[in-house]
Structure 1
Amino acid sequence: MKNFILSIVAMLTVSLSFSQISTLKGRVLDSNGFALPGATIQASPSGKAIVTDFNGFFTILNIEGEQTIKVSYIGFETVEKSVNISIGETQTLDFTLDTAISELSEVVVSGYQSGIVKGLNKQKSDLNVTNVVSADQIGKFPDDNVGDVLKRIAGVSMQGDQGEARNIVMRGLGPGLNAVTLNGDRIPSAEGDNRNVQLDLIPSAMISTIEVNKTLTPDMEADAIGGSVNLITRSNPSGFRASLTAAGGGQPIRTDGYNSNFALVIADKLSDRFSYTFSSTIQTKDYGSDNIEFEWNDPADWSSDGEIGEMDIRRYDVKRTRRSLSLNLDWNLNDNNQFFFKSIYNHRDDWENRYRMRVGSVDIDDMTVRIRRQTKGGINNSSNDATRLEDQKTQKFSLGGDHQFGKLGMDWKISTSIASENRPDERYVRYEQKNVPISDLDVSNPEFPSFVYVGNDWTNQSKFEYKKTEEAFKTTEEDNTSFSINFNLPYSVNDKFKFGLKHKDKSKMRNDVWHEYDNGLPNMDGVSNFDASITSYEAGKKYQSGMFMTAEALGNLKLIGTSDPNFDSYVMDEFAAGNYDADEQVTAFYAMIEDKIGDNLTLIAGARVESTKIDYTGYKFDEETMDTPADLGIVTGGSDYSNVLPNLTLQWDLNDKWNLNLALTQSLARPAYYDLVPYEYSNSDDQELALGNPDLEASLSTNIDAMVEYYFKGVGLLSLGYFNKNIEDWIYQYSTNDYIYNGVAGYEMQQLRNGEEATVNGIELTYQTKFLENFTFMGNYTITDSSTDKVEGRDDVPLVGQVDNMYNLSLAYETEKFFIRGSYNFADASLDELSDKAFEDRYYDEQSFLDVNANYRVNDKLSIFAEGKNLTNQPLRYYQGISTRTMQLEYYDISWNIGLKYDF
């Protein structure tokens, strides 16, 4: 089948490459030489119409004779030019647009509004439902990474890690149901157990445009039920550009905390044929977090074990450094053949020390607890510096071209990308004291429960006995290679037929190895130690953690290569069932028409076929009976399936101000690689069991979308949208306490399974406008609701990750030299993990963020800026069952930066 298709393509190429057609090419720029994407190009009397791409380019085929070319763009003056094109001739016609002046002589598009305008024009011209954020807008928010930018878009919320936005929730659907692409290709994931892309890994300064596709068209990858985020890097400059940004600041949760940020962009058009764009950033954050966690017992056990099974008091000291490089090259061989090379490299080092005091083994009768103190760090060398080092990298390289063979257009691209996470020489040391007396387990305020100790035993270093030291080496890697080719062929004035093919080869592996040292160290008073307690602990003064072995002492221990008989060179633990290898191939073919019906209605109709083949290798492990790697059972498996995904999209331009978008589409979400691996982890003594599921089906969603938009005469938008998603074979975590394993009943088992059907409904409202000459308001609100069927043991639970209410508000004031903006972001609570009973369900609590940033333009080249984030000190919080029952509470404090930007 594939060879047949390629043969047809080859014949079409040969037969059409010699036809003589007339072509008009050009580019639309603003008065500063920046591209204007989404500009409307109309030619008369031919009636042809087209819009500019992300770099402002346009091409009109089969256009001859005297033509008047009109370019219109929201917020800019409309421009017309005349051109005379001979048969078989290719001409170039460029446009430079000036900002529009209203009847009151008010400049509509100023520095800040230019970013809004570019996003609105691209959004208006897109046939699918999108939100577009340009680099100008990105730079006006205090957002260091792409995740922080995305949380300000309608229908989007983010899940955080150490105070930074990492995983995307779109239209109430969790990270596993959404896609992130870079210049149109999926980005591999550096995490071992899912397909999530770590959006805090990519600095916002590296991105030119963010396009959030809430509906898909057949020429897009279909693996996105909630939506697909496309990150577009800078390319194709119109002339020389260079800018340098430098900033510094702090995060006062740690007295010695600091932030620094440097960014450099250099771009130039060296000739009419060749241009380059180089971007680089380096960001460093030295900060931390204050954390408390609780494990709540089943009410049936409260009389003997108390309400709280475990309590953690955790102190994190964190340093993160991001380094990013990008080089994009564009080469126009001639009017009909263009080539490009795009590359990006992102590298984040995360150094962390954790000091954890864990209170457990609660005995209500004797009023005693067990206290464990654990220091987490790493080997004390030049790389780890006595910390846990998480070394994450993503890199992507693409080579492609755009070609015109008569009426037939063709583009192609070859891409390779790698994501990896390495955690070398990660170390843990644990000390323990049993039968520590307590006088009370205080749960009068379940948001902040605590233990009340008797005497000073809980802080007596001499009574804390050494238990063990562990060292881990962890590696995860995903490699992707893809090839795509697309063809488009016009068959009437403004109509075209488009088809294409894409093939992707992916491989993913995780290999974690643990070592253990059981004896050899004295009690805590005999090693180097320190008091990790913080008087101003964000969770409250009553949560003091006490003494711990220092990270430097842990890092200096001689572990690997020791001759001590107490050192176990390889530990068999539950991690052994977590290692795996997976290979996946996806081949997709699509065909679609884009048909303009009359003057105002545009139709996209087509389908995409995606065939998926995956093979994997995993392991079976019983903690009680297996002692060496030779004991592990190897399990293999695979699956092979295809999906036919029809697509119907309509856009009705009622007039220059009103747009109506309707779409009926299908999309899918593949299970995570590890979830498909038929691994088995069991503990026969405790009768605990975790299983992979090679029978998991990909989730298939039928989507209905409607969006009506009104674009104001100046700079502004009012839109109202509705969406419905009917998801078959959605995935949830099944739990039971009565599973039969190897003929033995009563196992506590967990496994991901397919539910029968889930439904999501939602409404989105967006309003943005400029008023009183200098003020700009932007706001959006999304409400969603979900329901599920056939969840074993549970009735009518919401979809995991679904957020009921989300909204963003921002107010900006701008003059010729000064700009200030305040922004507020809110997301409701959502179900994070489904258990076998409601009491044990885990929820991600509501969160809100208040940020302020300001900018002063000293002259045309130099600007000074300041920004403050998380001004309300919003913590990360999870709760169990009901909102007052805290499971985790983690504070990060505010952060601030001041800096300057110089444009050369």
Structure 2
Amino acid sequence: MKNYLLLILTLLFTSYSFTQVSTVKGRVLDSNGFALPGATIQASPSGKAAITDFDGFYTIVGIKGDQTIKVSYIGFETVEESVTVDSGATSTLDFTLETAVSELAEVVVSGFQSGIIKGLNKQKSDINVTNVVSADQIGKFPDDNVGDVIKRIAGVSMQGDQGEARNIVMRGLGPGQNSVTLNGDRVPSAEGDNRNVQLDLIPSAMIQSIEVNKTLTPDMEADAIGGSVNLITRSNPSGFRASATLAGGGQPVRDNGFNSNLSFVVGNEVSDKFSYSLAGTVQTKDYGSDNIEFEWNDPADWADDGAIGEMDIRRYDVKRTRRSLSLNLDYNIDDNNQLFLKTIYNHRDDWENRFRLRVGSIDMEDMTARIRRQTKGGISDGNNKGTRLEDQKTQKYSLGGDHLLGELKLDWKVSYSEASEDRPDERYVRYEQKDVPFSSLNISNPERPYFAWTGNAWNNPSDYRYRKTEQAFKTTNETNTSFSINLEKAYSDNDVWKIGFKFKDKTKMRDDIWYEYDNDLSNMDGVNYFDASIPDYLAGDTYQSGYFVTANTLGMLSLSGPEDPNFDSYVMDEFAGGNYDAEEQIAAFYAMIVDKLGDDVTLIAGARFESTSINYTGQVFDEEEDELPSDIGSVSGGNDYYNILPNLTLQWDVNDELNLNIAFTQSIARPSYYDLVPYEYSNSDDQELALGNPDLKSSLSTNFDFMGEWYFGGLSLLSFGYFSKDIKDWIYQYTTNNYTYAGVNGYELSQLRNGEKASVSGFELGFQTKFLKNFTFMGNYTSTDSSTNNVEGRDDVPLTGQVDDMYNLSLAFENKKFFVRASMNYASEALDELSGDAYEDRYYDEQTFVDVNANYKVNDNLSIFAEGKNLTNQPLRYYQGIQQRTMQIEYYNLSWTVGLKYDF
């Protein structure tokens, strides 16, 4: 890193020695002083052109003399201004654009309409296939986090957690096949076993715009087969701007549920040299979920063993708090040299209690079952109050610069980012009763099977005996330090070459420990207990869970680890084999040209080289033999490989309204961290074995994309796209019953391996328009198909996470004072986990979300808004084998919010 800093300082001190080249640069804003990204800048008679970036800035190098600069932007009047550029000088020319009333048929361009315009212009100007959502659009959806915003984009669906969108599925490919970047840099993951970025960790209020790149260019990180989501933090304003939002609401899944949201944004251009923006938010949610789960037996065994192997009734009580802060600083050394500092910090705490009734050991002949009642929580102190704390953080700090060295454009950036998850003092206490009689197991509706209990023995506290207490401490941490530099130079009027280098040094670790205690507690009726049943249980009145030990009773227990007099043992199978340390270094170099083939055709041609080096340390664990952490062995492994990824992208501007894009590209998806760990997890008695695989290769995808976009009528767009992906070395779960381990044959092995090939293809349709002066309709539909060969003895198995059908619909009304919008999001079912037999396969069921939100502008400064989300009470549902057999269904109920926003 010291060498990188030395290089940067050298560049800064030597930049003044370059011959000064005639240059025009500036910024394009709307009448309210907000940046207009994606504006087209054309200079005549030189014929040179540029596109404004996300902050509205542009630069045209190598023009001099008398020039006319024309700025065009969908929905705004085209503006022309003359400028005389002296030889070797830099001229600054800013533009303020006014709404094109004739195009927009007297629609007032504010709020939602303004957001559409910015997104369309940036999308139209990008040569690769993208979708762009601006801050104005983000603010007009009832979305607390960026995941809920992204799910409204064509070709994208989300996997949820506790009622919020968390993991992204893009063009039929699951979270591990896509990437999330923040200002162009990959975001580290707070989870222990994968590379997924928890999008519910980042509040939507912290983001200026979201760029979904469905095709990549050589200057983008290549680890994204499905696509890449780039989150762009707020830019600095051209003058003083400040706003504050205060909101409150509820989610009536629990009687005391209350949500609050406080956020602010402030920024200013203090002088010609310095500007800043500061944004912060605090969100709290008191809510929960109602959950039932089932494990289905092999239908061939139903006659003897019954249909259900296990059933859970669960109640979750959750309090979620998000805190986020971002600070951006820009400093102009002079007209040709600028420095920036971009920072963001996100912190989410989940305090959770879970009360789980589990029915198992089901005897269909004697009509009895075992019932276990487990309370999950944490220590009772001033912070946790008997709840389990999950503490997740992400933070990123970037220092960079943009420099014009003669005709050479140079930018560089040094970044540090970190993600972590801590679960300190997670606790469980379990009571159980055996041979509880039931009169029937009703599976007439396999979506809602249930037990009919005989008498009240199933819920009699005096019959439940103390079984055990458990305590866990869990820590995951990932760091990412990177340096990048890019050079760009024109070799003719509108043709440029660009080269760049990036180095990333990543570390990842997981360190969990799990204890078991025998606290010699009495039967449940001898401790504090309560009735966790909910009369209006959202999964159905049939599923009442009954009595449980209170969370405070569990939290007040004195548990101090192996030195505790009640310590019993380590729960080895919960953590042994799962801990690891990892290092990964990635060096990337790219070269590309952007060539104008005539006035209407633009070509990107180039390649990216990425070299990857990994080193992992994992654990060797035998479940039957190892009883202490000191018994666990250690094993190390590593791998080095490289990828050369060609890229060819072509854009044809048929006319001012019609764009056609074609792309032939290659991209990769690196294996998840834990899958590369050379761990060995075995059970010598049962001859079961799970192995990591440090030899896993990155999946390589050869991609073809076509997109046609027709921009018409100011705010209207009709688009069609087709895509196909041929994936080599895709990763799947391999199992065999005849593996030799430690000299013994016949082990049942489970291990991730590289498959032969897989394919994905599909198409997208999009349409949005304004009509009847104040109405806007937006809709998109995506169809995807995938197949794999020779997996678990089966052919044409879809890829995990692949969604066949997705669509989004929304209808909005807006005038000068009032805005209201209704929206719908649908995604069909998807394979979530492939098992050895088809009846065991786990599927993520289809889901439909309906939301509505409204805003009333009291005056130029004050607005009142209201939101309603998940109006149909859409649950999270998994099914096993066939759609009728529920594996898990979890309800969150609808939520509502009302609030005030004040612009200073």
Shared fold by TM > 0.5? yes
Query: 2:111 & 2:531 partners in 1: Cα distance?
Result: 51
CA contact (8 A) 1:515 1:570 kept: yes
Q: Displacement, 1:746?
A: 4.5
2:305 alignment partner in structure 1: 305
Letter of the structure 1 residue corresponding to residue 599 of structure 2: D
Find the aligned partners of 1:755 and 1:627 in 2 and give their Cα distance: 36
1:738-784 deviation line (CA, Å, top 9, x unaligned): 44433445444322111111100010111000000010000000000
| Number of the residue aligned with 1:92 | 92
Q: Partners of 2:570 and 2:745 in 1: how far apart?
A: 31
**17-26 or 353-362, which moves further after superposition?**
17-26
The DSSP-based 3-state class of the residue aligned with 2:552 is helix
> What's the offset of the Cα at 1:619?
0.4
Aligned to 1:218: 218
Query: Does 2:730 match 1:730?
Result: yes
For residues 209 and 342 of structure 1, what CA distance do their matches in structure 2 show?
15
Alignment partners' CA distance in 2, 1:210 and 1:902? 24
Partners of 2:568 and 2:806 in 1: how far apart? 51
Counterpart check, 1:239 vs 2:239:
yes
Q: Report if the CA contact (8 A) 2:423-2:473 is conserved.
A: yes
Is the contact made by 1:188 and 1:197 (CA closer than 8 Å) also made in structure 2?
Answer: yes
Matched, 1:826 2:796: no
Alignment of 1:162-311 (within 5 A): 162-311=162-311
Aligned to 1:473: 473
- For residues 780-830 of structure 1, give each alpha carbon's deviation from its aligned partner in whole angstroms, at most 9, with x where no partner exists: 000000011232422210011000000000000111100000000000000
Whether the 8 Å CA contact 2:397–2:417 is kept in 1: the answer is: yes
* d(CA) in 2 for partners of 1:112, 1:563: 61
Q: Supply the distance in 1 between the matched residues of 2:345 and 2:299 (Cα, whole angstroms).
A: 51
Q: More displaced, 744-753 or 196-205?
A: 744-753
Q: Secondary structure of the equivalent of 2:525?
A: helix
Distance 2:875 2:745 in 1: 42
Letter paired with 1:195: R
CA–CA distance in structure 2, aligned partners of residues 794 and 510 of structure 1 = 35
1:77-127 Cα offsets, whole Å, 9 max, x none, are 000101111111110011000001127952363432100000000000001
C-alpha spacing 1:363/1:739, structure 2 compared with 1 (3 Å): farther
- Counterpart of 1:885? 885
Counterpart for residue 138 of structure 1: 138
Alpha-carbon distance in 2 for matches of 1:574, 1:745: 26
2:38 maps to a residue whose letter is: G
Q: Distance in 1 between matches of 2:110 and 2:563?
A: 71
- What is the CA–CA distance in structure 1 between the aligned matches of 2:163 and 2:574, rounded to whole Å? 29
Secondary structure in structure 1 of the residue aligned to 2:83: strand
In 2, are the aligned partners of 1:102 and 1:108 still within 8 Å (CA)?
no
> Please, which moves more after superposition, 705-714 or 157-166?
705-714
Distance 1:746 1:656, change over 3 A: same
Shift of 1:11: 11
Task: Classify the secondary structure of the residue corresponding to 1:578.
Answer: coil
Give the Cα separation in 2 of the matches to 1:104 and 1:586.
48
Distance 2:18 2:158 in 1: 52
5 Å matches for 1:540-689? Answer: 540-560=540-560, 565-568=565-568, 570-689=570-689
Cα displacement string for residues 401-457 of structure 1 (whole angstroms, at most 9, x for unaligned residues) = 000110011000000011000000000001111111111111111000111111111
CA distance in 1, matches of 2:868, 2:569: 48
Whole-Å separation in 2 of the counterparts to 1:454 and 1:792: 43
| Aligned partner letter, 2:674 | Y
Q: Render the CA deviation track for 1:170-223: whole Å, top value 9, x for unaligned.
A: 001000000000011011000000000000000000000100000000000000
Q: 1:103 to 1:469 in 2, by over 3 A?
A: closer
How many Å apart are 1:737 and its aligned residue? 4.2
How many angstroms apart in 1 are the aligned matches of 2:603 and 2:859? Answer: 48
Q: Which residue of 2 aligns with 1:501?
A: 501
- Find the aligned partners of 2:68 and 2:14 in 1 and give their Cα distance: 33
Q: What residue number does 1:353 align with? A: 353
Helix, strand or coil at the partner of 2:727: strand
3-state SS in 2 of match to 1:573: helix
- The equivalences for 1:892-903 within 5 A come to 892-903=892-903
Q: Which residue of 2 aligns with 1:41?
A: 41
Counterpart AA for 1:500: G
Partners of 1:103 and 1:509 lie apart in 2 by: 56
Letter in 2 for 1:899: G
What do residues 219-274 of structure 1 show as CA deviations (whole Å, max 9, x unaligned)?
00000000000000112210000000000000001000011001010100100110
Query: Unpaired segments of 5 or more residues in structure 2?
Result: none
Q: Following superposition of structure 1 onto structure 2, how do residues 792-871 of structure 1 map, counting pairs within 5 Å?
A: 792-871=792-871
Cα gap change, 1:13/1:662 in structure 2, threshold over 3 Å: closer, same or farther? farther
Q: Distance in 2 between matches of 1:422 and 1:15?
A: 46
Q: Distance in 2 between matches of 1:588 and 1:204?
A: 31
- Gaps of at least 5 residues in structure 1 are none
Q: Separation in 2 of the partners of 1:445 and 1:53?
A: 56
How far is 1:12 from its partner?
14
3-state SS of paired residue (2:723): strand
Letter of the 1:411 counterpart? D
Amino acid at match of 1:309: G
Aligned residues, how many?
A: 902
- What letter is aligned with 1:834? L
Cα deviation, residue 22, structure 1: 0.5
**Alpha carbons of 1:474 and 1:15: their partners in 2 closer, same or farther (altered >3 Å)?**
closer
Bigger CA drift: 53-62 or 10-19? 10-19
How many angstroms apart in 2 are the aligned matches of 1:170 and 1:70? 37
Q: In the alignment, is residue 692 of structure 1 matched against residue 707 of structure 2?
A: no
Deviation of the 1:587 alpha carbon: 0.2
Partner of 2:716: 716
CA contact (8 A) 2:725 2:761 kept: yes
Q: Which moved more, 1:198-207 or 1:82-91?
A: 82-91
SS at match of 1:839: helix
User: 1:468 and 1:616 mapped to 2: Cα distance?
Assistant: 35
1:12 and 1:822 mapped to 2: Cα distance?
52
Give the Cα separation in 2 of the matches to 1:616 and 1:184. 27
CA distance in 1, matches of 2:365, 2:107: 76
Taking a change above 3 Å as real, the CA distance of residues 181 and 11 of structure 1, as seen in their structure-2 partners, is closer
Residue identity opposite 1:34 in structure 2? F
Match of residue 392 from structure 1: 392
Q: TM-score, normalised by structure 1?
A: 0.98
- After TM superposition, the structure 1 stretch with the greater mean CA deviation from structure 2, 616-625 or 785-794, is 785-794
Q: Does 1:129 align with 2:129?
A: yes
SS at match of 1:333: strand
**Measured at CA, do residues 103 and 792 of structure 1 come closer, stay the same or move farther in structure 2, by a change above 3 Å?**
closer
1:776/1:57 CA distance change after superposition, 3 Å? same
SS in 1 for 2:147: helix
Cα offsets for 1:558-594 (capped at 9, x unmatched)? 1116866441364422411100000000000000001
Task: For 1:687 and 1:537, locate their aligned partners in 2 and report how far apart those are by CA, in whole Å.
Answer: 42
Q: How far apart are the structure 1 equivalents of 2:271 and 2:577?
A: 57
Q: Structure 1 segments of 4 or more deviating over 6 A?
A: 9-16
Contact 1:794 1:836 in 2 (8 A): no
The normalised TM-score by structure 2 is 0.98
Q: CA RMSD in A?
A: 1.9
Q: Which residue is equivalent to 1:112? A: 112
In 1, the alpha carbon distance for the partners of 2:12 and 2:236 equals 30
Question: Separation in 2 of the partners of 1:241 and 1:400?
Answer: 24
How many percent identity over aligned positions? 75
Alignment partners' CA distance in 2, 1:103 and 1:397: 42
Take 2:436 and 2:103, find their aligned partners in 1: how far apart are those partners? Answer: 78
SS of the residue aligned with 2:101? coil
Distance 1:746 1:363 in 2: 30
